[in-house]
Amino acid sequence: MNLGTPDNSGAASLEAIARDGSLFKRMAVRIPTYLTDLRENPAWLPMFVLARTMAGRRIHWLGAERARALQDTAETMFTGVDRQAVVEALRSDGLFPGLILPQAIHEEIAAFARRTPCFGNFDRRLEFMPGEHAEAEKRLGRSLLSGHYFERILDCSAALAIQKDPLLLDVARHYLGGQAKLITTRVWWSFPTGKASDADKNLASLGKYHFDLDDWRMLKFFFYLMPVDEGTGPHVYVRGSHKRRALKHQLTLLVGHPAGEVLDIYGQQSPVTLTGEAGFGFVEDPFGFHMGTVPARTPRLMMEIGFGVSKPSRRRFHGEPVIR
């Protein structure tokens, strides 16, 4: 008789209970956002249910329109980038690193971000200047893991120039199909803080591998607006995970999963940790597993331009969830 069996079974049961409790808490936080999306666009529900399955996605990809090359791509700010090479890398790996912003562009956005108040943890009630992060945590009595600008970033001309760059749309249309359109524009800080709760990390999509489920087909361009090294919370992407998905990851309601579980399935050598100087950019298929890591020393300032194939949500144009 194995005397350790009852204890191990009890520990497993407690672990399962804790995991289920965490599941319900994480879903409860998202309910206001889900209800808002459903009221605004009833077509959101079948997407939310079926787009997590490989069969549902393959069927939807059959409706991709043929893309025609844009005539104004010579006007792009991204020099030396071949659209076909980007699209081929996305199809094979789900990721293409190597988009570089002009210095004047990333410096202008960073300067705008430093002088403009942001909103902590996606909450418009938590407004503060990014340079006063530590003071804001004391004043507000809580950790501030992120600081978002929402629609304020549209007051920055350099941000608009990236958003409208013809190369981004050209890549998006040749990867997603001719229906591709702009759906998200975000700039945000991720701050080092020793007080962040798991709920704050989940809301900020930090520290846990997840895939995005905002549309049937999506493409996201990311740019570092300040240097990012291992201590600045680099972005991590699991190569190839955009085109295959374990059944357990298709049938769960959650998009976030522990690192060990993800890497056991998709390969220990598959993660790519993306570091770089200010202006470094990359594009990914966000259906692949990815995560932002929590900064250990220095705040990370990042920009996202996202494309999809469905009607853009007014809320998600700036990436804002609905908070009770």
**114: domain CATH number?**
2.60.120.620
* Angle formed at CA 173 by CA 86 and CA 244, multiple of 5 degrees: 65
Considering the domain boundaries, does residue 224 fall inside one? yes
| pLDDT value of position 202 | 63
Considering the domain boundaries, does residue 17 fall inside one? no
User: Distance (Å, rounded) from C-alpha 64 to C-alpha 126?
Assistant: 41
pTM of the predicted protein model = 0.88
Considering the domain boundaries, does residue 319 fall inside one? no
Considering the domain boundaries, does residue 36 fall inside one? no
What is the domain count for the chain? 1
Q: Are 128 and 117 in contact (CB under 8 A)?
A: yes
Alpha carbon of 162 to those of 113, 178, 244, 302: distances in Å? 15, 20, 31, 13
Considering the domain boundaries, does residue 5 fall inside one? no
| pLDDT value of position 23 | 53
Instruction: Identify the residue whose tokens are 């598959």.
Output: 270
Q: How far is CA 131 from the centre of its chain?
A: 24
Considering the domain boundaries, does residue 82 fall inside one? yes
Q: How many CB atoms lie within 10 A of CB 131?
A: 11
Where are the extended beta strands (E) located within the chain? 95-100, 118-120, 127-128, 146-148, 181-190, 209-210, 218-224, 235-238, 256-257, 271-274, 280-284, 290-292, 300-308
Q: From first to last of its 324 residues, what are the pLDDT tens digits of the chain?
A: 333 333 444 444 433 333 444 555 656 677 777 777 778 888 889 999 999 999 999 999 999 999 988 888 889 999 999 999 999 999 999 999 999 999 999 999 999 999 999 999 999 999 999 999 999 999 999 999 999 999 999 999 999 999 999 999 999 999 999 999 999 999 999 999 876 666 666 665 666 899 999 899 999 999 999 999 999 999 999 999 999 999 999 998 888 888 899 999 999 999 999 999 999 999 999 999 999 888 988 999 999 999 999 988 777 667 787 766
228: DSSP letter: B
| pLDDT value of position 28 | 67
Considering the domain boundaries, does residue 4 fall inside one? no
| pLDDT value of position 39 | 83
| pLDDT value of position 249 | 93
Q: Are 250 and 52 in contact (CB under 8 A)?
A: yes
User: Distance (Å, rounded) from C-alpha 67 to C-alpha 178?
Assistant: 4
Considering the domain boundaries, does residue 203 fall inside one? yes
Beta strands 256-257; 127-128: pairing state: unpaired
Q: How far is CA 289 from the centre of its chain?
A: 10
Provide the residue range defining the domain that includes 293.
Answer: 42-308
Torsion-angle region of 57 (φ positive above 0: left; ψ -120 to 50: alpha; else: beta)? alpha
| pLDDT value of position 25 | 61
In order, the DSSP letters of 242-304 are: TS---HHHHH-S--EE-HHHHHHHH-TT-EEEE-BSTTEEEEE-TTS-EEEPPPSSS-EEEEE
95-100, strands of its sheet edge to edge: 95-100, 280-284, 218-224, 300-308, 181-190, 146-148, 118-120, 127-128
